[in-house]
Amino acid sequence: MIQIDDTIISLDVFKEKFLCNLDACKGECCVEGDAGAPLEEGEVEQLKKVLPVIWKDLSPEAQAVIEQQGVCYKDEDGEMVTSIVNGKDCVFTCYDDKGCCFCAIEKAYREGKVDFYKPISCHLYPIRVQNYAEFRAVNYHRWWVCKAAILLGEKEDVPIYKFLKEPLIRKFGQEWYTELEVAAGELKQRGLI
């Protein structure tokens, strides 16, 4: 473990390799699972704000769920998460003509239609951040649907922290990420990664 400010970072974030491979997985991480994506304070309002812009990209089933329960709900742990369709798909998924799943929010962001990228938990995946009283734990979440990303990451030699540079900076700031890179260099020098 490495500590930067109030974050405790698992060594897996430095050691493990990961590079999303949408051609292989078809965006399965937005479809599989038993709950929606975790939301931070303020993100529910952001989701409501972008909803009119992305509405036409959502499936009729997703639209029905949103109309019935809203963009989010409390999961079994009492945490706010994105609403899901039929116990699986995030309501914000959309598909291309090849059946590949995408985030409708991210699509709208890339098209310059909204200024919200997507929930930070989605942007950071496969990293999960857990808040505790004294610190925040930054851990690698292993999931079978990401096997193709692990294989591609190993082939291209891309550690998780490098793959997730943009969302890590979005979450923790540039100064924090610079310290993370310094820590990675020291770990490498000591033969720990």
**DSSP characters for 35-76?**
S--B--TTHHHHHHHHHHHHGGGS-HHHHHHHHHH-SEEE-T
d(CA 40, CA 46): 10
Per the model's pLDDT, the better-predicted residue between 184 and 95 turns out to be: 184
| pLDDT (mean) for 108-132 | 94
Ramachandran class of 94: left when φ > 0, alpha when ψ lies in -120 to 50, beta otherwise: beta
pLDDT at 76: 87
pLDDT at 145: 79
pLDDT for 77 beyond 90: no
| pLDDT (mean) for 83-111 | 90
Q: How confident is the model at residue 23 (pLDDT cuts 50, 70, 90)?
A: confident
d(CA 89, CA 71): 13
pLDDT at 88: 85
With a pLDDT cut of 90, the percent of the chain lying above it is: 75
Q: How confident is the model at residue 8 (pLDDT cuts 50, 70, 90)?
A: very high
